[in-house]
Every structure is written in structure tokens, then in C-alpha cells.
Structure 1
């Protein structure tokens, strides 16, 4: 029996596929590129818009890891509906969903595609769990962020310096997903992130230690950040990201629920910023 990994060549899926393959598991890597190579995995070109393709690849699976891609909400709703329908039809043993840092589907299950996906999976009767990271440290590697940090010694990000965030890495999420595939008795939401949470000022200190030079932190306006990343993700997606960070600015912080944390439920502790940076070639 195999583990089916959506987006297995992307930032979220690739670490999950790698973690499972390293553990000797059979991995089926889903990607739209038939020529893609995923070490230790069988590559199956699959499109989220095709219910038939999803049902075929889910059939007999030990587990499925899925996250909704950045796309128009109408498309995301269609993708979510197809995943749920394929799960209902094919009955894989277990499904793990990542919120990708967006908890709107948890706060308002009927309000968007992610909420529809989570509700549909719960109603399907198939064992499932939801991994809920807060913000990814990989966001700090975006060229407009890392480039400025290298060039000027100033880490600029659209959060105020004292805003505490339970940061995590895609690698941390992969560790949690792999553990959840084994710990089938754990269902519901599992939060992932630093506890205690980390401020922008503390992130700058971690970068200073890794780069061997002083680094300070400076908040930037969410709209400015959106314009900076638009060439990478497109105007629509960048506008959505800017709006998300503007919303975060109204909150006291972005932390994890310790009662539902990966550390407490699974014994998986996320990498600190310093440890994460130590593993990167900057």
C-alpha cells in the first residue's frame, strides 16, 4: 500500500514525500508534470480538476496528503469537492490535510474551499487529521525578503517587530504528517509552530547569527509586500497575501494551541529559526 502525496514537487509536498521515502514507505508522487522526478517515489501525473484521476490514484492508498494550491477561490472549491468525492469513492485508509497556514477554514468551515474540504472529509467517515501551521519560515527566503537582508542587513517583513509568531518550516510539517500517518488514533486539528512564539526582532537575531553580521528587523506595509511578491505569484494571489498580513496586524499575535500542538500530541518539536537557518546555504 502506498502514500499518495499531492504537490510532491512543490514546497509543501516534496518534504513529505522525502520523509516517507526515507522511512522506507511506498510513495506515489502526484504532479501535473509527467516528466518530474521525485526520488524514492512513483510519479503519477494527476490533476485536481479530474475526479476520475483522483479516485483512481486514491484507491488502495494507505494515506493521502493534500493541500489546496494557490488559485482562484472558485477553482479551489472545485478541487476540494473533487478530493472529497474521490475519498468517498475510493476510501483510502487515512487523509492528512495541511491548511498551509490559512486557518479561515477552521474558523468558518462553510466560508471557503478549505472549510468545505475539511467538513467533507469529516463527513466521509474516512480517518483524517488537519495539520495547522501558522507562518512558514520559508517565506523569509523569498527574494524580496532574503535579498534585502543580505544586501542591507535589514530583515523587512509585513509584521510589527514585537508581533509573536509560531513559525515553522515545511520540514516540520513533513515530520508531523509522517507521524500522523503512523498515529492513526489522532484526528482533528494538530497545530505546528514555535512555542514560545518568535518576534521579528528575534528572527533578525537568528539571521545575524547565521550570516555572521548585524541584522535588524523592520516592519513593512502589507501592500508594499504584496507589490514586491506580485512578480512571483501574480497580482491576484499577491493581493490576497497582502490582505492576510493586514488582517494579522489587527491581532495580538499568531500562536499555537498547546493542547492541540504537535509537540504535545506527537512529541514532534519544530525547528528553531537558528536550527532551520543552519541547514540552509545562504
Structure 2
């Protein structure tokens, strides 16, 4: 029984690789660098641009966890097609795909992925492949709050500044929650379609600040900031182009009433998995 993990050295893949390894399940970590090291995992080199390499690592796998890397959308569409081609050729027993926050379960929502997007391309391709698969759909990651401009202000000024209105509710989830969900879905092939991951009922900025206050033992206040200002603050970290895209996302969110999952297709209902509270998440990551 072998589980292939994309991004096993990254934010989403690493927690899942560690969780599976802790359960004594053989893990294959996909890397671009043959010298990459992942604890308790065998590293195999494969690039999203190579169907041949992907097919080789998928062959014989009991499970494949995949998510699309950041980058130009044309490149991501190519990667999606290549993943599908490799799945068709290798026929792994199960594929679990995380949308990484892309909205795929809210038709009519302005954020719903377009039919020609990379995420939609991969979802359609997996559905047409005939291989057992499921889609994990988180909305917004708690790890966003660890960006230096955000977390530094929490520690230095007691201010949690984020580009969401004070009353805007979000179904936050952590990468650890995605890992828990993916591991459970590998074991339950009867569950297909989209599984939403995130807190429900959703919580607001002041709720986040309250959790930080409780964890740190000092008052932390929430402050809504302008998305453009937030984009400027993270530009040195991720580049001006990517930062502008992030700012645009939050500007769009400002036109919506909330960003929440639907309970009908949630991990809570389908798997009995309750996402971590913010305070639990902070404890788990040692913050």
C-alpha cells in the first residue's frame, strides 16, 4: 500500500505525508530535486510538465494526493492535463485532489471556478478518467495569518490586521485539517464528489482575534484593512504580480456576504471530522 504525495515538502503535502508515515503507511514524496529529503518517505523525481514521470510515480499507488502549484494559469492548465493523462495511464486506486481554496461548490458565486480554469480542467479530467477520486474544497487557510505582516503585528502591537470586514464570516481551515480529510478519504473510496473543509458555523475577524488573545494570554484586537494595503505589505514576500492578485481576491470578497462552506457536503457531515478551532490550530503549530 503506497501513497504518492505531491508537495510533500510544502504546506499541504507535508502534513499529510507526516500523518500517513505516522500510521506506518508507505509514502512516496514527489519532488523536482533528487536530493530532497522527506522524513519516513521515499523521494521520487517527477515534474508536472512530464506525463511520463508522473505516470511512473502513480503506477501501483493506492492513493495519490495532488494539488496544483501556483503560477501562470496557462501553465497550470497544462499541468492539470498532464496529471489527468498520467492518472489515465497509471490507474492508481484513488486520487484525492485539493482545490487549495478555489471555489468549486457554489454555483452562482462570483468566485466559482470558470469552466476553462486549471482546477475545473483537472476536476473534469478526473471524473472522465474512471479512476476513484474525490475533491477536497477548503475556502481559506488559517496559515495565511502567519504571513509576517500579519503575525508580526499580532506579537508586536496586539493587532490582527487582515483585509476582511469585521463582520465577514469565513469557513477557515488549516493545512492540518486538509491532511486529516485526505487521509480519511483514502480509506473511504465510497465517498466521491466534493467534500468541503472548513469551520461551520463560520467565524469573523474578531473571533480570530479572540482566539489569538486566549492562546497568547494578552489582548489582541482585530482591524480590517484595505486589500490594496495588504497587497503592498506582502509584495516583498511573493512578488508584485502575485500580491496584486491576492489584493484583487480580497476586493472581490468585499462584494460578498461571506465565504462559507455548505454543511451538506462538509467533512463534518460526511466524515465526522470537525476542523480545529483557531486556538487548537495555534497550539498544534506551537504558536
**TM-score category of the 2 structures, normalised to the smaller one:** over 0.9
User: Which residue is 1:198 aligned to?
Assistant: 203
Is the 1:61–1:93 Cα contact (8 Å) retained in structure 2? yes
Is the 1:109–1:119 Cα contact (8 Å) retained in structure 2? no
Relative to structure 1, the CA distance from residue 105 to residue 47 in structure 2 (aligned partners, 3 Å threshold; closer, same or farther) is farther
Could you state the TM-score of these two structures normalised by the residue count of structure 2?
Answer: 0.95
User: Which residue is 2:116 aligned to?
Assistant: 111
User: Which residue is 1:56 aligned to?
Assistant: 56
Match status 1:156 vs 2:161: yes
Match status 1:243 vs 2:248: yes
User: Which residue is 1:14 aligned to?
Assistant: 14
Deviations 1:17-68, CA, capped at 9 Å, x for gaps? 1111111111100112222211111011211111110011111110110000
In the TM superposition, 1:89-168 aligns within 5 A as 89-103=89-103, 107-108=112-113, 110-168=115-173
- Structure 2 CA distance, aligned partners of 1:161 and 1:130? 31
Deviations 1:190-246, CA, capped at 9 Å, x for gaps? 001111111000100111111211110011111111121122222222221111111
- Structure 1 spans left out of the alignment, 5+ residues: none
Relative to structure 1, the CA distance from residue 247 to residue 97 in structure 2 (aligned partners, 3 Å threshold; closer, same or farther) is same
SS in 2 for 1:190: strand
Is the 1:105–1:111 Cα contact (8 Å) retained in structure 2? no
- Structure 2 CA distance, aligned partners of 1:235 and 1:181? 38
Could you state the TM-score of these two structures normalised by the residue count of structure 1?
Answer: 0.97
Match status 1:41 vs 2:44: no
Count of residues in correspondence between the two structures: 282
Is the 1:109–1:116 Cα contact (8 Å) retained in structure 2? no
Is the 1:31–1:46 Cα contact (8 Å) retained in structure 2? yes
Offset, 1:109? 5.1
In the TM superposition, 1:164-183 aligns within 5 A as 164-183=169-188
Is the 1:5–1:13 Cα contact (8 Å) retained in structure 2? yes
Q: Which of these residues, 204, 208, 214, is aligned with residue 213 of structure 2?
A: 208
User: Which residue is 1:259 aligned to?
Assistant: 264
Is the 1:163–1:253 Cα contact (8 Å) retained in structure 2? yes
Is the 1:230–1:237 Cα contact (8 Å) retained in structure 2? yes
Is the 2:104–2:137 Cα contact (8 Å) retained in structure 1? no
Is the 2:102–2:113 Cα contact (8 Å) retained in structure 1? no
Offset, 1:105? 8.6
SS in 1 for 2:96: strand
